[in-house]
A and B are shown apart, each in its own frame.
Chain A
Amino acid sequence: MEAVRTYFRDIWKALSSIAVGLSVTIRHLVRPAVTVQYPDVKLKMPERARNRLYVNIDDCIGCDQCALACPVDCITIETIKSTPDQDLGVTSTGHKKRLHLPRFDIDIAKCCYCGLCVYPCPTECIVMTDVYEFSEFDRHNLIYQFSAMKPDQIDDAKAKLKKAEEEAAAKKAAAAAAAEEKKKSEQPKQG
């Protein structure tokens, strides 16, 4: 008797659960779709979304803190000291710029979008943007160069620094020579 009851209960369960399933799917059929037509329509990224990095090179003081913070070493910075007679201006946050930036490269292919470079920046010049479509056919195109300096400007800065260094060295040498001279001239008196 029990078996007969189970048999009919199973059939009833199957039919009623099929009806429940069908009612769920038909409700979804008439509901508007939740997906968007991606390349035409894009969802707004969340405010703190981390995507492609951007460097506002005018605000960079070349402190290298972002490169140090980067866990995958995708940021490469080279700097040239400015000479006292050059004025590189100030950043929008009021920091005085003292270094030329001949190279500020980010290899975005290596970037892991951790955002650790953003926090230490004293001038807030390196930021995460909401751009996420930047695929390339050649991996080398993913090395972004942010430096604004042209090759002749770099050479110029290098030459100026070298000249200033040479001048300083010459001055130092002259001062040392003068000191030596003074010493020598004082010695016979003692003797």
Chain B
Amino acid sequence: MEELLQSIIGESWILYVLLAAPPLVFILVYALVTVWTEMKVSAHMQDRLAYMYTGPHGVLQPLADILKLLQKEDTVPAAADKPLFIMAPYLVFIGTYAGFAALPFSSAYIGSDINLGAFYIIAVSSIVVVGLLMAGWASNNKWSIFGAMRSAAQIVSYEIPTALALLVAVMITGSLNLQDVIRFQEGGILNWVVFGGPLPVVQKLLLLPFTLTAFLIMFIAGVAEVNRTPFDLPEAESELVQGYNTEYSGMKFAIFYLAEYANMYLVSGVAACLFLGGWSSPFGDFMSGPLWGVFWIVVKGYFFVFLQIWIRWTLPRLRVDQLMYTSWKVLIPFLFACLFGVGLILVL
């Protein structure tokens, strides 16, 4: 797509804007859909109906919400550190959006086809922590700072299992470029890394327990990284009001929300690329191609988003010590075992 656009409009800033825009458009549309899905799924899980009046089954409700948030007063507390307070939500969103640059959407489109794609996503999404800390600190509110501290501790702890689980997949595929990772898995559902990748059958069967474990841990760590229930300690509404975004209102609050939903898709998309073959079709050559690629990666990513929503409305929140226990004493040892096992099998 880059070459095609370059041949049409040549080397200019418009080219880069056009290349950078699709993920943003996707995030905006996806966030609207997901806000609606989240409310509907949560309602039906509690045998309720949720919105029914704004359009058929309330499909226009997210638009109405946006309209409401746009009209709301954008308050900045008198005691807040104003520049930091205003910057924080944008920084959180930029951290998430930057991650989308290396996330492939189809065999023909990726924001930036860099060799260290997976590593770059892990690295750049750490900016989110800075944004959250900034929001908590600048709010000058004890709930906010508690939330920000918890969030920093949580994201720092859970980045290790995410990175290690990512390494398991990278060891099998042999590349950090997500496009290469996906091309490696092309050719049907059995070639996906979660089922051992396109390796000889014996190796596949031996790898299977390790890849499944790594995949599960990647998902758990992903849920923790986006601060969603059961890992929603940073914004635990029963304890901390709203955590780091307590003092935010109007559009700034909406940007935090948008960043959270975008982040949900980012971790889902990375998991789908590494373990579920990204844009490759599960039926081999059937239904494959650049446009079907968009369809498949969105379906796979959205499946994880749905899973996150499902888990959110099922499980209660963890305690802080349980959170740390899960990361340091369960996920990380298991991943070391996985790395060791996968390495051993691949060498033999």
Classify chain B's interface size: 10 to 19
Q: Which of B30-88 contact A (CB under 8 A)?
A: 41, 43-49, 52
Count, chain A residues at interface, CB 8 A: 16
Interface stretch of the complex, out of A25-33, A82-90, A142-150: A25-33
**What are the residues of chain A within 8 A of B43 when measuring CB–CB?**
33
Interface stretch of the complex, out of A16-24, A160-168, A182-190: A16-24
Contact with B along A6-47 (1 / 0, CB 8 A): 000001000000100110111011111111010000000000
**What are the residues of chain A within 8 A of B49 when measuring CB–CB?**
33, 35, 37
**What are the residues of chain A within 8 A of B112 when measuring CB–CB?**
none
Cβ B314 vs Cβ A35 within 8 A: no
Cβ B310 vs Cβ A25 within 8 A: yes
Whole-angstrom CA separation of A26 from B171 in the bound complex: 35
**What are the residues of chain B within 8 A of A37 when measuring CB–CB?**
49, 52
Whole-angstrom CA separation of A29 from B48 in the bound complex: 9
Cβ B315 vs Cβ A35 within 8 A: no
What's the dominant secondary structure at chain A's contact region? helix
Cβ A25 vs Cβ B48 within 8 A: no
Cβ A21 vs Cβ B314 within 8 A: yes
Q: Which of B294-325 contact A (CB under 8 A)?
A: 310-311, 313-315
**What are the residues of chain B within 8 A of A24 when measuring CB–CB?**
314
**What are the residues of chain A within 8 A of B48 when measuring CB–CB?**
33-35
Cβ A35 vs Cβ B45 within 8 A: no
**What are the residues of chain B within 8 A of A31 when measuring CB–CB?**
44, 47
Highest count of chain B CB atoms <10 Å: which of A11, A29, A37: A29
Cβ B315 vs Cβ A21 within 8 A: yes
Q: Known contacts being A11-B330, A18-B315, A37-B52, is A25 close to B45, with CB within 8 Å? A: yes
Q: Total A-B pairs in contact (CB under 8 Å)? A: 40
Whole-angstrom CA separation of A33 from B45 in the bound complex: 9
Cβ A28 vs Cβ B45 within 8 A: yes
Q: Which of A58-114 contact B (CB under 8 A)?
A: none
Minimum CB distance partner of B44 in chain A: A29
User: A34: shortest Cβ distance to chain B, in Å?
Assistant: 5
Cβ A22 vs Cβ B310 within 8 A: yes
Whole-angstrom CA separation of A26 from B311 in the bound complex: 10
Cβ A34 vs Cβ B47 within 8 A: yes
**What are the residues of chain B within 8 A of A33 when measuring CB–CB?**
43-44, 47-49
**What are the residues of chain A within 8 A of B313 when measuring CB–CB?**
25
- Return the contact of A28 from the options B44, B52, B315, B330 (Cβ within 8 A): B44
Cβ B311 vs Cβ A22 within 8 A: yes
Q: Known contacts being A21-B315, A29-B41, is A35 close to B47, with CB within 8 Å? A: yes
**What are the residues of chain A within 8 A of B315 when measuring CB–CB?**
18, 21
Whole-angstrom CA separation of A31 from B315 in the bound complex: 19
User: A27: shortest Cβ distance to chain B, in Å?
Assistant: 9
User: A43: shortest Cβ distance to chain B, in Å?
Assistant: 14
Minimum CB distance partner of A28 in chain B: B45
User: B211: shortest Cβ distance to chain A, in Å?
Assistant: 17
**What are the residues of chain B within 8 A of A35 when measuring CB–CB?**
47-49
Minimum CB distance partner of A15 in chain B: B216
**What are the residues of chain B within 8 A of A11 when measuring CB–CB?**
330
Whole-angstrom CA separation of A26 from B315 in the bound complex: 13
Cβ B314 vs Cβ A25 within 8 A: yes
Minimum CB distance partner of A32 in chain B: B47
Whole-angstrom CA separation of A168 from B338 in the bound complex: 112
Whole-angstrom CA separation of A33 from B41 in the bound complex: 12
Whole-angstrom CA separation of A31 from B47 in the bound complex: 7
**What are the residues of chain B within 8 A of A29 when measuring CB–CB?**
41, 44-45, 310
**What are the residues of chain B within 8 A of A26 when measuring CB–CB?**
45, 310
Whole-angstrom CA separation of A5 from B48 in the bound complex: 42
6 A-B pairs with least C-beta separation = A25-B314, A21-B314, A34-B47, A25-B45, A33-B49, A29-B44
Residues of B near any A CB (own CB < 8 A): 41, 43-49, 52, 310-311, 313-315, 330
Residues of A near any B CB (own CB < 8 A): 11, 18, 21-22, 24-26, 28-35, 37
Q: Could you list 18 A-B pairs, sorted by A, with CB under 8 Å?
A: A21-B315, A22-B310, A22-B314, A24-B314, A25-B45, A25-B310, A25-B313, A25-B314, A28-B44, A28-B45, A29-B41, A29-B45, A30-B44, A31-B47, A32-B47, A33-B43, A33-B47, A35-B47
